[in-house]
Structure formats: C-alpha cells, structure tokens
Chain A
C-alpha cells in the first residue's frame, strides 16, 4: 500500500517537472497557464477539483445512512455543472475575460462593470479568500485522515504532510501543474469509483438484493426513492446543485481553456466523469449498508469510512488497495490545489497588484515570485487553521459551497446574460447572497424549513442584484455586447436550424 502511495507521489513530482518546462514568466502563465489548456485538461481538472472528498467518500457515507434518497443530491450539480460549462457560463466568460484581459474572477467583475474604484474587485477577492481558506481546511482534514490510514502516521504529521504536498507542486508549477496533476488524479478517482462500487455491487447481488435488504433494515427511509421526509426533502437536496455556478475554483477553468470551441468536448467529458464518480459513490454506499448493516460496524463508527473498509475487505492486493486509496487522496488534493490558486490570485493579483499597487508598474517576474510566496503563506495559514477547525471541516465545506454558490453564482451568471446589470447590483447580489447564507445557516427555524442555505441565498442574491441594478444606471460601455457575444455574423450561442 505504501509503495502505491509513493508511486502516486512520484507521478505528482514528475508531472510538476513537466509543467515547469518553458519557464514561468508572467502572472497569466502562473494563474491560467496562458489560456492554453485543452478540453480534456479543462474537463477532468474541473471535475476533479469540484469532486473532493464530498463525492468520493462523503456521498458514499450519505448513501450508507440515507439509502436510495441520497441519489437526489447528485442530480442537480451534475446537470448544472454541465450546462454551466457548455452554455451558461463557459463560452461567454472565456470570450469576455480574454478580450478584456481578466485573469481572475474579481478582475472579470471589475472589467464587466467598468468599476474604476476597484470596489467589486476588493469585496469579491476578500470573499474568495475567506471561503477558499475554509474549504482548503476541510480538504486537509480529509487528506490527513487518508494519510493516517495508509501510512499509519499520527494526525499532526499527516496534516503537515498533506499541506506540504499540495503546496509544493502548486508553488513550483502554478496552474499548469495543477491541471496536469488533476488529470492524473482524476484518472485515479475514476478507477477508484468504478472498481470498488462495482465489486461491492456484485458482492451484494445487484439492485434487487440491495432494495430488499435495505427495506428489511430500515423500511422506506432506506429503500424508498423518497424517505419519510417526502419529496420536499428530496427537492431540498436538489438545491445543493446551485453551488455549481459560484465556486471559483471550478469557473476559473472556463477562463483558462484554449478556445471557446473546446467547451463542446470539455463539457461532455466533464459530464461523463461526474456521472461515474457520483453514481459510483452512491452505489458504493448502498451496497456498503447491505454488507455492514450498522454504522457501528465501520471504523470510527463513521459512514464515510465505507470506501476504505469495503476496498480492504474485497481486494486481496495491498498494492491495488493503495492505488485506490490514492484515488481518494487525489480527489482532495485536486480540490485543494485549485482552491490555493484562487486564494493566490485574489491576494497577489487583485488585492496587491491592482488595489494596493494601483497605477504602479509591477514587473511580471516580481509577480510570479509573489504568487509563489502567497501559495506558501496560504498553505501555512490553512495548516494552522486546520488544527483549530478540524472537527467542523465538513460543515465548513458545505457552508462554503452553498455560500459561494448563493453569493457569487447568481452575480456571475446574471452579468454574462443581462447587459442592464450594474456594479451596484453586482455588489448588492454578492453581499445579499452572503448575508442570507449566514442568516439561514445560523437559524434553526429557517433550516427547519429548508435544510440547505444554497437556494435562499441564490434567490435573494438574484432579487437584490436585479432590483438594485434597475434602480441604478450602468456606465456606458460601447463594446460590452460585442465582448460578451461572438463577433457579428457568427451565431455561436444560438443553435443552427435543425431542419
């Protein structure tokens, strides 16, 4: 098992070296690989970054506890991420950001609304730093758990090792290293979420046996398509998908893709990847509940250990188990490295270069060095916070997904499709969505109505953004329409007549 893990780390190191060929001469090169990433890299990197421990082991754990109704949670984000990449966000964001030389999400917002006071950039950058650091903490907690299982290290050295690993290749290779390693890690994730669920599913005897046994164990709450919470609970789970629009470590990939045309293939690959990972996780959890009837039978009485427990029980080869566990580790690493880059871009490009050093010329070589130092500092800060926030890592990750999805998602989406939107509307949407997410999460009464804050935050952000935009005047922007849409005469966004 350790040999497999070491091989995985050697692979990471090799890809980092490859990514550094050609040097790193600019911020655009460090943060977006010079917008030269093809469709396969974009697709797998986006999916691998989006699917962290929550997909690999969290969803399996959810299915273990909730039965068939856990599947509701995957429907929305799988479809929405696909639509966001193919149509709703990808092409327009790529086109606009390259024409106006925006290489970060806050920079895109500033360029979109011609915000000369950097207000939107500053607010958005701070929002991203806070949420992304919290997200990174949750990934480090998950990674350290895997390390303790594989290498047998105690928790503290495991957390430190996780931080060093992600920090090292992100510092050296920037976005290109992140994408290259994400592709390798994505392949490992796919392997893990095909092999283990298929083995478990065959062992228990297929869908029929799973249904019968879950019905015996827990009645409708486990075997039903909807449990005792009814369709209201099921639809509530759907709204978790709204996070797909607002998570910067996913949507920044739309800005880095080589060409708008590449979204067609990228979106399809991304969808297939997500379907395999997500459905595989659910099926693993269902089969796991049949195999181990009670969560008390699992290590640490934690349903999220089902992946590790089933793979150990069913696969005789320690080396193969090590490869599969590396897949879980890879899921978290691929998410953490992308989040680290988002924090880096927000701090170095948005806050430092464009706000603090506004108007001053900062050499590209200085910026590349600064980017690397910010990566190191981000990793260190996240590491320290991990020791304090370890117990609430999952809750933090859920809030970050819903909070960002509710605050940033509607603003970016609306900005790409509604030219009447103003910077005050964007600011209102950001702050309104964030406020609603915090209020909703803090209130037990509101969470009793709808358990996840993503929908109310999303809806409130939209309402505020639209209302405030209609009450304010957008600055004149002669080329806005052209920079959002394809050049005149080319109907990229409208489908051709089929007959």
Chain B
C-alpha cells in the first residue's frame, strides 16, 4: 500500500497551531492599541493639541 500524507483534522490544526497564531496576533494588536494610549506625560498620537493661536485671540478695538 502506498504511503499517503496523513492530515490531522482541521480542528486539531486550529487547536494547536491556530491558537498559537491567535495569541501572537493578540500580542500584536495589544502592542498597536497600547501604543495609541497616552503614557505618563506623553501626548497621544494622532491627536496633536495645538497651542492657542495668539493672533486669533488678539483683537484690538477700532479706534473711535
């Protein structure tokens, strides 16, 4: 009888390899998510706070 490649059930593939991949993905997602959190003294990424524009607030009354 010719030998054939034995395939485990897909469930087992998921159970062993799939969970390993899942956990690594969880770690990568967590790394990405936590990089967007503000840290001690850090400004958040993508949410730059601009200082108020002095010129916009500086108005002078028209001279009468």
A interface, CB within 8 angstroms of B? 68, 71, 75, 78-79, 82, 86-87, 205, 207-212, 225, 259-261, 263-265, 267-268, 271-272, 275, 279, 282-283, 486-487, 490-496, 498
Contact of B6 (CB < 8 Å), options: A75, A209, A492, A493: A209
A268 vs B24: C-alpha distance when bound (angstroms)? 9
Given contacts A68-B16, A268-B30, A275-B20, contact A495 B36 (CB under 8 A): yes
Main secondary structure of the interface of A (DSSP, over half): helix
Interface pair A494/B13, CB less than 8 Å apart: no
A345 vs B46: C-alpha distance when bound (angstroms)? 43
Contact of B8 (CB < 8 Å), options: A71, A87, A210: A210
Contacts of A486 in B (CB 8 A): 38, 40
Interface pair A490/B13, CB less than 8 Å apart: no
Q: Separation in Å of the B38 CB from the closest CB of chain A?
A: 5
Interface pair B39/A82, CB less than 8 Å apart: no
| Number of B residues, CB within 8 Å of A | 34
Please name the 7 residue pairs, one residue from A and one from B, whose CB atoms are nearest each other, closest first: A208-B6, A211-B8, A261-B39, A271-B27, A264-B34, A207-B8, A496-B36
Q: Separation in Å of the B30 CB from the closest CB of chain A?
A: 6
Interface pair A71/B38, CB less than 8 Å apart: no
Q: Separation in Å of the B50 CB from the closest CB of chain A?
A: 16
A and B contact pairs by CB, cutoff 8 A, 23 listed: A68-B15, A71-B16, A79-B23, A207-B8, A207-B12, A207-B13, A207-B16, A207-B17, A209-B6, A211-B9, A225-B11, A225-B12, A259-B40, A264-B34, A264-B35, A265-B31, A268-B27, A271-B23, A271-B26, A271-B30, A492-B39, A492-B40, A496-B37
Contacts of A275 in B (CB 8 A): 20, 23-24
- From B17, B40, B42, name the one whose CB has the most chain A CB atoms within 10 angstroms: B40
Q: Which residue of A lies closest to B31 (CB)?
A: A268
Interface pair B47/A496, CB less than 8 Å apart: yes
Interface pair B36/A208, CB less than 8 Å apart: no
Q: Which residue of A lies closest to B34 (CB)?
A: A264
Contacts of B12 in A (CB 8 A): 68, 207, 211, 225
Given contacts A207-B16, A495-B33, contact A212 B40 (CB under 8 A): no
Interface pair B35/A208, CB less than 8 Å apart: no
Contacts of A496 in B (CB 8 A): 36-38, 44-47
Q: Separation in Å of the A471 CB from the closest CB of chain B?
A: 36
Given contacts A212-B6, A496-B37, A498-B36, contact A279 B20 (CB under 8 A): yes
A87 vs B42: C-alpha distance when bound (angstroms)? 17
A210 vs B6: C-alpha distance when bound (angstroms)? 9
B interface, CB within 8 angstroms of A? 5-9, 11-13, 15-17, 19-20, 23-24, 26-28, 30-31, 33-42, 44-47
A271 vs B28: C-alpha distance when bound (angstroms)? 10
A78 vs B26: C-alpha distance when bound (angstroms)? 11
Interface pair A86/B30, CB less than 8 Å apart: yes
Contacts of B17 in A (CB 8 A): 207
Interface pair A267/B30, CB less than 8 Å apart: yes
Contacts of A259 in B (CB 8 A): 39-40
Q: Which residue of B lies closest to A276 (CB)?
A: B20
A10 vs B4: C-alpha distance when bound (angstroms)? 50
A62 vs B62: C-alpha distance when bound (angstroms)? 86
Interface pair B47/A260, CB less than 8 Å apart: no
A210 vs B15: C-alpha distance when bound (angstroms)? 14
Interface pair A260/B40, CB less than 8 Å apart: yes
Q: Separation in Å of the B43 CB from the closest CB of chain A?
A: 9
Interface pair B37/A491, CB less than 8 Å apart: yes
Interface pair B39/A260, CB less than 8 Å apart: yes
Q: Which residue of A lies closest to B5 (CB)?
A: A208
- From B8, B15, B30, B41, name the one whose CB has the most chain A CB atoms within 10 angstroms: B8
Contacts of A264 in B (CB 8 A): 31, 34-35
Q: Which residue of B lies closest to A279 (CB)?
A: B20
Contacts of A283 in B (CB 8 A): 16
Contacts of B9 in A (CB 8 A): 211
Interface pair A86/B34, CB less than 8 Å apart: yes
Contacts of B36 in A (CB 8 A): 495-496, 498
Known: A82-B30, A264-B31, A496-B38. 4 other contacts (CB 8 A): A207-B8, A208-B6, A268-B30, A495-B37
